[in-house]
Structure 1
Amino acid sequence: MRDAYQEQLDTLAEELAGMCDQVADALAKATKALLESDLQLAEEVISSDIRIDELRAAAEEKAFALLALQAPVATDLRTVVSAIHGAGDIERMGDLALHVAQAARRRHPDPVLPADVSGYFAEMGRVGCQLAHKAGDVIRSRDLARAEELERDDDAMDDLHRHMFTVLMDPAWEHGVGPAVDITLLARFYERYADHAVAVARRIVYVVTGRMPGPLAV
């Protein structure tokens, strides 16, 4: 019985880690669609988001079943509760990638981004995907050092997010209000995506140590 129960916990963790990989792929495709005005790729991200929603629902159903049938305690209880919260964080990452793809579709065939800021968003996309993959690695390994790396990687995203405001407030900005609004919203989507990845890693720290790291507004 114990072996079967542990196998269920391991399966749940692997499903959540797989979700991290899927939302990383979604952000990579959404970023490419954004940078290249690729309508087909944007539509692919939009249509595939329902699958991430379904995976969240399935993970939550399994977690609640474990709570009801196994009455876990201590580390196992923290694992199940963190899985419920983590599934929500990962699903939200998928939603944020969806928002990026929707912006690319909304402006098609025109580009969303002026050429002089596209490089920043390429880097935000790279950092976001890296964070999502690392979050999946942390779920699989419960490696606390790896979890701490996400905090440092998130600092890079925060720096990029802040820099975009510097660009937009520069008197030399010549692209008008519309692009400025798009850029403000998009930069926020990437920044929030990163925050949710860090939240997933922090929940693993809680599982392992019994202590939740300092608060993160997500």
Structure 2
Amino acid sequence: MREAYHVELEQLADRLAAMSVQVADAMEQATKALLEADLGLAEQVISNDAKVDDARADCEEKAYALLALQAPVATDLRTVLAAIHAAESLERMGDLALHVAKAARRRHPEAVLPEAVRAYFAEMGTVAVRLARKTEQIIKTKDVEAARELETDDDQVDDIHRHLFTVLMNREWPHGVAAAVDVTLLGRFYERFADHAVSVARRMVFVVTGKMPGYGTSEDL
């Protein structure tokens, strides 16, 4: 029975890792759709979002079943609780990729982004996808150091996001209010995507150490 139980825990982690792949692919495709005004790719991201929602529901169902039937304690309990929270964060990452794809679809056949900011979004997209792919490995390995290193990548997204505001606040911004609103919202989507990836990594640190990073110790993520 205990062996079967631990197999179920491993399967739960596998489901979370698979969700990380899904949302990484979604953001990669959504960013390409955004930069290239690719309607077909945007539609693909939009239609695939239901699969991410289904994956979250499946993870939560399995996790609650383990809580009810196995009454886990210590590390096992932390694993199940972390899975519930991580599934929520991963589903939100899928939603944020969806928002990017919808922006590309809404403005098609026109480009959403002015040329002046395209490079910033290309870089944010690259970093965001890298975060999600690293998250997959962290879920699989429970590598605490790798989880803590994710913060550096997140800082890159934060820095670009802040710089976008200086671009938008320039009096010589020539692209109008609608473009400024699009850039503001899209920048926020990428920034939140990265934050959720860090949140998942923190949950994995919690599983291993029993402490939730980010709350006032020198060892925080």
Quickly name the TM-score band, shorter chain normalised: over 0.9
| 1:136, distance to aligned residue in structure 2 (A) | 1.0
Matched with 1:70 is 70
| 1:206, distance to aligned residue in structure 2 (A) | 0.5
Q: What residue identity is the alignment partner of 2:214?
A: G
Q: Which runs of 5+ in 1 are unaligned?
A: none
- Number of aligned residue pairs: 216
| 1:144, distance to aligned residue in structure 2 (A) | 0.6
| 1:121, distance to aligned residue in structure 2 (A) | 0.3
| 1:170, distance to aligned residue in structure 2 (A) | 1.1
1:1-218 equivalences under 5 Å are 1-215=1-215
| 1:2, distance to aligned residue in structure 2 (A) | 1.3
Q: Tell me how far apart the structure 2 counterparts of residues 24 and 152 of structure 1 sit (CA, whole Å).
A: 18
| 1:171, distance to aligned residue in structure 2 (A) | 1.7
Q: What residue identity is the alignment partner of 2:42?
A: A
Q: Partner of 2:172: helix, strand, or coil?
A: coil
Q: Partner of 1:29: helix, strand, or coil?
A: helix
Q: What residue identity is the alignment partner of 1:84?
A: I
TM-score (norm 2): 0.96
Q: Partner of 1:112: helix, strand, or coil?
A: coil
Q: Deviations over 1:165-189 (max 9, x none)?
A: 0110112211111100000000000
Q: Tell me how far apart the structure 1 counterparts of residues 203 and 56 of structure 2 sit (CA, whole Å).
A: 16
Q: Partner of 1:172: helix, strand, or coil?
A: coil
Q: Tell me how far apart the structure 2 counterparts of residues 147 and 14 of structure 1 sit (CA, whole Å).
A: 17
Q: Tell me how far apart the structure 2 counterparts of residues 68 and 26 of structure 1 sit (CA, whole Å).
A: 33
Range that drifts further, 201-210 or 169-178? 169-178
Q: Tell me how far apart the structure 2 counterparts of residues 113 and 153 of structure 1 sit (CA, whole Å).
A: 23
Q: What residue identity is the alignment partner of 1:149?
A: E
Q: What residue identity is the alignment partner of 1:99?
A: H
| 1:64, distance to aligned residue in structure 2 (A) | 0.3
Q: Tell me how far apart the structure 2 counterparts of residues 59 and 11 of structure 1 sit (CA, whole Å).
A: 9
Runs (4+) of structure 1 exceeding 4 A deviation are none
Q: Tell me how far apart the structure 1 counterparts of residues 100 and 19 of structure 2 sit (CA, whole Å).
A: 18
| 1:116, distance to aligned residue in structure 2 (A) | 1.3
Q: Tell me how far apart the structure 2 counterparts of residues 23 and 149 of structure 1 sit (CA, whole Å).
A: 20
Q: Deviations over 1:40-81 (max 9, x none)?
A: 000000000000000000000000000000000000000000
Q: Name the Cα RMSD after superposition.
A: 1.0
TM-score (norm 1): 0.98
| 1:119, distance to aligned residue in structure 2 (A) | 0.6
Q: What residue identity is the alignment partner of 1:35?
A: L
| 1:149, distance to aligned residue in structure 2 (A) | 1.1
| 1:155, distance to aligned residue in structure 2 (A) | 0.4
Q: Deviations over 1:149-206 (max 9, x none)?
A: 1111100000010010011011221111110000000000000000000000000000
Q: Tell me how far apart the structure 1 counterparts of residues 149 and 39 of structure 2 sit (CA, whole Å).
A: 34
| 1:107, distance to aligned residue in structure 2 (A) | 0.3
